[in-house]
């Protein structure tokens, strides 16, 4: 402790300080303040008190002086300070919120924080606090697409019925193609991640061609049948159907869930289906490809293998895709549908009603 300063603790003061330290319900700020005074009374030096309390030298001195002036009561009281700035008036807050919810001036597509601050006559930080308090984010936008298929409900129930209650002695396949997968090579090698810095990758790239992945997800066991092809016409689609036909055991009925891509409805594809009576196509509603379970596999493939991948040729790209399919089949997970179809229909209905009321 500093020279010339003495902390006098009476028996009653010590009893109160020890009670504060032992009270499990006492605020921690009161506890460490009491420990500083007790350590001072025990003859501990400032350095030792700092080590024990984890506080800086000015903090230790401040509470020693506070105890000398006000006793134990001084340790239990925090000084009140007047706010540096008065809170914004309710009218100002309401004006910022009304501006954010309305259209921006001129041909500007959306409000920015600085535009709102200038229009409302307040600081940018004040605008940020107001928007955060009212959960408004003018700089963000979410995309959506409502299906206009008149048979949306029937098709939804049909496909969800296959997901949750598949027919006996049948194979349920979710079939689709991921087209135009580019074999991209970076113009310069990136740097690995390290502490304080993310991994790097050049924004530009070299194209080495494209491939199309035809995939069929077996919903019952989670395995994938995949084929890489140069194009995605009806000829390639029929070749893929033949590959599936060869792998599925005889005697099994095949229900295939497909989207409304024109290739899937080509006359030659319909003729192929007529010659293979164990096959049945179930078409998703228009603008509802999210209902096709294999899209989840495509998303996982993109995140884990394609997005950051470096491929110096189409062959390298196809080999990487084939390895990913093999890894998926080595540890397959059956597809489980969890969404309530009635809630999906209700959400679509609400979306259409909102669009009709606004437009």
Query: pLDDT at position 2, please?
Result: 57
- Location of structure tokens 């062959």: 315
CA dihedral 254, 260, 262, 266 (to 10 degrees): 30
Q: Are residues 244 and 127 in the same domain?
A: no
Q: Are residues 119 and 37 in the same domain?
A: no
pLDDT single digits (tens) 44-53: 888 999 998 8
Query: pLDDT at position 246, please?
Result: 93
Domain for residue 144, yes or no? no
Q: Kindly state the greatest CA–CA separation across the chain.
A: 105
Domain for residue 142, yes or no? no
Backbone dihedral angles phi then psi of residue 81, each to the nearest 5 degrees: -125, 140
Q: Are residues 251 and 317 in the same domain?
A: yes
What percent of the chain has a predicted confidence (pLDDT) above 90?
Answer: 66
Q: Are residues 39 and 187 in the same domain?
A: no
- In contact, 87 and 123? CB cutoff 8 Å: no
Q: Output the domain CATH number for residue 268.
A: 3.30.420.10
Q: Are residues 119 and 207 in the same domain?
A: no
Supply the Cα-derived Rg of the chain in whole angstroms.
34
Residue ranges of the chain with per-residue pLDDT less than 50: 1
CA–CA separation, 164 and 168 (whole Å): 12
Q: Are residues 167 and 286 in the same domain?
A: yes
- In contact, 100 and 138? CB cutoff 8 Å: yes
CA–CA separation, 190 and 83 (whole Å): 49
Domain for residue 315, yes or no? yes
Domain for residue 320, yes or no? yes
Domain for residue 163, yes or no? yes
pLDDT single digits (tens) 68-103: 888 888 888 887 777 677 888 999 999 999 999 999
Nearest to 279 by CA among 241, 336, 317: 241
Query: pLDDT at position 43, please?
Result: 85
CA–CA separation, 103 and 316 (whole Å): 49
Q: Are residues 66 and 104 in the same domain?
A: no
Query: pLDDT at position 4, please?
Result: 54
Nearest to 35 by CA among 75, 1, 8: 75
- Per this entry, what is the length of the chain? 359
Residue 291, domain extent: 152-191+199-352
Query: pLDDT at position 251, please?
Result: 85
Q: Are residues 115 and 208 in the same domain?
A: no
Q: Are residues 120 and 38 in the same domain?
A: no
Query: pLDDT at position 3, please?
Result: 56
CA–CA separation, 41 and 88 (whole Å): 47
């Amino acid at each position: 402790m500093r020279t010339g300063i003495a902390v006098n603790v009476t028996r009653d003061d010590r009893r109160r300080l020890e009670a504060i330290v032992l009270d499990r319900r006492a605020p921690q700020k009161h506890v460490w303040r009491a420990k500083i005074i007790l350590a001072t009374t025990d003859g501990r030096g400032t350095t030792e008190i700092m080590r024990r309390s984890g506080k800086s030298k000015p903090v230790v001195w401040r509470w020693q002086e506070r105890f000398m002036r006000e006793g134990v009561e001084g340790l239990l009281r925090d000084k009140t300070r007047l706010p540096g700035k008065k809170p914004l008036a309710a009218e100002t807050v309401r004006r910022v919120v009304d501006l954010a919810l309305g259209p921006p001036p001129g041909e500007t597509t959306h409000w920015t924080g600085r535009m709102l601050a200038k229009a409302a006559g307040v600081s940018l930080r004040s605008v940020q606090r107001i928007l955060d308090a009212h959960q408004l984010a003018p700089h963000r936008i979410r995309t959506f697409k409502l299906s206009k298929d008149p048979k949306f409900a029937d098709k939804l129930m049909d496909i969800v019925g296959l997901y949750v209650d598949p027919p006996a002695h049948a194979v349920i396949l979710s079939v689709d193609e991921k087209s135009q997968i580019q074999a991209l090579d970076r113009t310069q090698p990136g740097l690995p991640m390290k502490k304080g810095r993310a991994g790097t990758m050049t924004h530009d790239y070299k194209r080495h061609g494209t491939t199309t992945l035809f995939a069929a997800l077996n919903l019952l066991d989670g395995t994938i049948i995949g084929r890489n092809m140069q194009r995605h016409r009806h000829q390639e689609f029929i070749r893929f159907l033949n590959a599936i036909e060869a792998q599925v055991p005889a005697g099994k009925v095949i229900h295939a869930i497909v989207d409304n891509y024109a290739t899937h409805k080509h006359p030659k594809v319909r003729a192929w289906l007529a010659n293979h009576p164990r096959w049945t196509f179930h078409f998703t509603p228009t603008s509802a490809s999210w209902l096709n379970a294999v899209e989840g596999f495509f998303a996982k493939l993109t995140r884990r293998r394609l997005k950051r991948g470096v491929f110096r040729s189409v062959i390298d790209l196809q080999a990487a895709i084939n390895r990913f399919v093999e890894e998926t089949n080595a540890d397959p997970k059956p597809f489980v549908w969890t969404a309530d179809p009635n809630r999906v229909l209700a959400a679509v209905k609400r979306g259409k009603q909102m669009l009709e009321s606004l437009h």
